[in-house]
Amino acid sequence: MTATDLLDERVRCTRLFDLYGPVLTEKQRKAFELHQLFDWSLSEVASDLGVSRQGAFDLVQRARERLKETDSLLDLARRIDALEGRLSTVSELAARWSRDLPEAFVKALNASLADEEEDGSRV
């Protein structure tokens, strides 16, 4: 696996954690946060959680597997990506055609798009 692949996988798992973190056990969640988000070594995670290094590794691995499994069932990450893509397309179309559309419509559309971006609720 290349460094880019590893980084992409890390970003993907972090995003899945943001979406599905609550499905993990408390220890899995803590181990994943410390190792993936705060970049702690497995030894540091093990020490903090009072488990062996192998135990910390297992917790992180089970968390990753559970996150991926949950995403394969719910498919939220892909659906969010698709919705964000559509939102981007609508924004681009609004910018491109704003001169040809009624001014009130363009203002309402831009306001709606701005609300979605500010909320972070592009779903």
Q: What is the mean pLDDT of the chain?
A: 91
Flag the least confident range among 59-63, 68-72, 95-99, 117-121.
117-121
- Two tokens at 97? 């055609």
pLDDT of residue 32: 98
> What b/e readout covers 98-114, taking b as 16+ CB neighbours within 10 angstroms?
eeeeeeeebeebeeebe
| pLDDT score recorded for residue 70 | 97
More confident residue, 122 or 51: 51
Q: Half-sphere exposure of 50 toward its Cβ, with a 13 Å CA cutoff?
A: 1
* Cα–Cα distances in angstroms (integers) from residue 86 to residues 80, 101, 112, in the given order: 10, 19, 14
Specify the pLDDT at position 122: 40
Say which CATH topology domain 3-74 has: Arc Repressor Mutant, subunit A (1.10.10)
Burial label for 57, CB within 10 Å (0-12, 13-18, 19+), is middle
* H or E, element range at 70: helix 53-74
Q: Express each pLDDT in 48-67 by its tens digit.
A: 999 999 999 999 999 999 99
User: pTM for the whole thing?
Assistant: 0.72
Q: At what angle do helices 42-49 and 53-74 cross, to 10 degrees?
A: 100
* pLDDT one-digit tens code per residue, 75-112: 999 999 999 999 899 989 888 988 898 989 988 988 88
Mean pLDDT for 2-17 is 94
pLDDT at 35: 97
